[in-house]
């Protein structure tokens, strides 16, 4: 009996995601020693922070993984819970809530809606209150992961939360990448763009960050709440102009607010008095997931290659063509090969009146399937391809992504020409979810509790022997 290439691809994806589970990552990087009711030390990634008697650890955070991150912190610092010296508040999606003892888990948005909400704003105000309440001997432990931008919105006074959400939707629909999106959002927020850092000036702050941004730029992950912001209001204005949004009537107040802030702008100091006791520490990223999947693939007998993109990969169609070309380069009968890659392509959305459902992973797999249809005579006999968001979400759907293998064409029914026409039409309308729902191939692992960009598994070669499953 053998394990299909599709099953193996799913297993390798799960291995990669398992390597960046936030609870374990955080628990392993924190330690407590000393008197729970008196002087003690809290060690963060090897550095000890002295807690005098009465000093607290204040946990704050936002992101898709912060519930599990807070659970890891509570496990590592459990003695402080018993004496009431551990407290906190984290904003996270409603489907990522976990039971916590001392830290309040606040649902900042519904599942599948990656936009700012009134609930998220209320939670952001509570986070700000806790930071401002910290004394010089307290330790602020910030837990930050992907999705934090939408989960802790605290807009500048000149604009409403609804207007900030509109800017994000318009930029996303125009094809802006995560760096461009965050450049604008940071300048419209009191929390992002170093806002949490400024609130904690003169205090002790240690940020543990699970990166969902390629290359791990501290000022971009969750819009850089704890990092010095190298951008300026002028940069946000440039992004709006680049996508033709600066002159739109519905964004007049946004443009006016950015122009005023640009006139009054004073650069945020990268270092200086009050920031000496701040730390930003990456605890996991896309590379971590890729490396874990590669290691497992090698143990299973594949010649494994790992790639983690250092920056946004650009157009999703180009990424699909590059990945499918890798199948064509493999020789039939050769060593089974696994290409494990991580990244984040961009998708330009179809007009709303024809747009369907899906996200960048389902769109990527659909475009890869089209490439496979068109070049199927040049491929080896056996292959499988899967792409999924490591958070278990792909756009406003219940899927993380999709997959297909060399048998997809035969199983889908109808002629190859009919299936190719249906695939092209779905791709044109960004309706990949409906396509794979109809023909099979939706990948629905559910919420994973973590978030480190996308993880793709491309396998070429023989099926895996049953006895090798747990090697």
Q: How far is CA 210 from the centre of its chain?
A: 9
Helix-strand-coil percent breakdown of the chain, rounded to 5?
40, 20, 40
> In this structure, how many other beta carbons lie within 10 angstroms of the beta carbon of residue 234?
14
Q: Which contacts of 420-427 are long-range, i.e. CB under 8 A and separated by 24 or more positions?
A: 420/370, 420/373, 420/374, 423/366, 423/369, 423/370, 423/373, 424/370, 426/356, 426/366, 427/363, 427/366, 427/367, 427/370
**356 neighbors 227 (Cβ within 8 angstroms):** no
Q: Which residues contact 240 (CB under 8 A, 6 or more apart)?
A: 167, 171, 184, 246, 251, 254, 255, 258
pLDDT for 467 equals 41
Rounded Cα distance between 187 and 224, Å, is 11
**170 neighbors 257 (Cβ within 8 angstroms):** no
pLDDT for 114 equals 74
Burial 186-197 (b: 16+ CB within 10 A, else e): bbbbbbbbbbbb
Beta strands (DSSP E) in 319-471 are 337-343, 383-389, 401-405, 442-443, 454-460, 464-465
Tens digits of pLDDT across the chain (471 residues): 467 899 999 999 999 999 999 999 999 999 999 999 999 999 999 999 999 999 999 999 999 899 999 999 999 999 999 999 999 999 999 988 899 999 999 999 987 777 789 999 999 999 999 999 999 999 999 999 988 888 999 999 999 999 988 998 899 888 888 778 888 989 999 999 999 999 999 999 999 999 998 999 998 888 899 999 888 999 999 999 999 999 788 999 999 999 999 999 888 776 677 899 999 999 999 999 999 999 999 999 999 999 999 988 989 999 999 998 887 676 555 789 999 999 999 898 889 999 999 999 999 999 999 988 887 766 666 889 999 999 898 988 999 999 999 888 666 666 777 888 999 999 999 999 999 999 999 999 998 888 899 999 999 986 544 444 433
pLDDT for 1 equals 42
- 185's enclosing H/E stretch is helix 178-187
DSSP character string of 136-179: TTSEEEEEEETTHHHHS--B-TTS-HHHHHHHHHHHHHTT--HH
Q: Which residues contact 207 (CB under 8 A, 6 or more apart)?
A: 142, 143, 144, 226, 278, 279, 280, 281
Rounded Cα distance between 275 and 256, Å, is 31
In this structure, what DSSP letter does residue 223 have?
G
Strand partners, 342: 308, 455
Structural domains of the chain, ranges and CATH numbers in brackets: 2-14+287-461 (3.40.1480.10), 22-154+189-232+267-284 (3.40.50.10180)
In which residue are the tokens 């409403």 written? 160
pLDDT for 103 equals 98
């Amino acid at each position: 009996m053998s394990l299909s290439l599709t099953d193996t691809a799913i297993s390798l994806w799960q291995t990669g995601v398992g390597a960046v589970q936030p609870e374990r990552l955080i628990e392993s990087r924190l330690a407590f020693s000393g008197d729970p009711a008196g002087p003690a030390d809290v060690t963060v990634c090897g550095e000890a922070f002295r807690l005098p008697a009465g000093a607290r650890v204040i946990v704050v955070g936002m992101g898709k993984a912060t519930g599990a991150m807070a659970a890891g912190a509570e496990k590592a610092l459990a003695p402080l819970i018993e004496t009431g010296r551990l407290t906190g508040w984290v904003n996270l999606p409603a489907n990522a809530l976990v039971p916590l003892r001392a830290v309040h888990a606040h649902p900042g948005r519904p599942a599948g809606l990656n936009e700012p909400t009134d609930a998220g704003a209320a939670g952001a105000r509570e986070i700000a209150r806790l930071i401002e309440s910290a004394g010089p001997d307290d330790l602020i432990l910030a837990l930050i992961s992907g999705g934090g931008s939408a989960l802790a919105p605290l807009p500048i006074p000149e604009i409403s939360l609804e207007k900030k959400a509109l800017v994000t939707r318009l930029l996303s629909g125009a094809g802006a990448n995560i760096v461009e999106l965050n450049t604008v959002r940071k300048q419209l927020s009191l929390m992002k763009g170093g806002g949490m850092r400024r609130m904690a000036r003169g205090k002790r702050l240690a940020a543990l960050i699970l990166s969902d941004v390629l290359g791990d730029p501290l000022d971009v992950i969750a819009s850089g709440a704890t990092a010095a912001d190298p951008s300026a209001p002028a940069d946000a204005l440039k992004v709006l102009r680049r996508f033709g949004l600066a002159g739109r009537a519905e964004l007049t107040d946004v443009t006016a607010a950015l122009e005023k802030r640009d006139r009054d702008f004073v650069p945020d100091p990268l270092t200086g008095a009050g920031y000496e006791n701040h730390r930003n520490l990456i605890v996991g990223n896309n590379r971590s997931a890729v490396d874990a999947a590669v290691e497992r693939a090698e143990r299973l007998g594949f010649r494994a290659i790992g790639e983690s993109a250092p920056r946004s990969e650009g157009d999703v169609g180009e990424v699909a063509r590059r990945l499918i070309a890798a199948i064509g380069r493999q020789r039939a009968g050769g060593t089974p090969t696994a290409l494990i890659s991580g990244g984040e392509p961009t998708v330009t959305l179809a007009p709303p009146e024809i747009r369907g459902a899906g996200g960048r992973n389902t769109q990527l797999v659909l475009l890869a399937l089209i490439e496979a249809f068109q070049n199927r005579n040049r491929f080896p006999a056996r292959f499988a391809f899967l792409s999924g968001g490591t958070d278990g979400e792909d756009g406003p759907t219940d899927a993380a992504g999709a997959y297909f293998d060399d048998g997809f064409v035969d199983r889908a029914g109808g002629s190859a020409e009919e299936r190719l026409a249906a695939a092209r039409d779905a791709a044109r309308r960004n309706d990949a979810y409906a396509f794979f729902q109809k023909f099979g191939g939706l990948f629905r692992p559910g919420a994973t509790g973590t978030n480190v960009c996308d993880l793709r598994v491309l396998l070429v070669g023989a099926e895996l022997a049953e006895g090798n499953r747990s090697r």
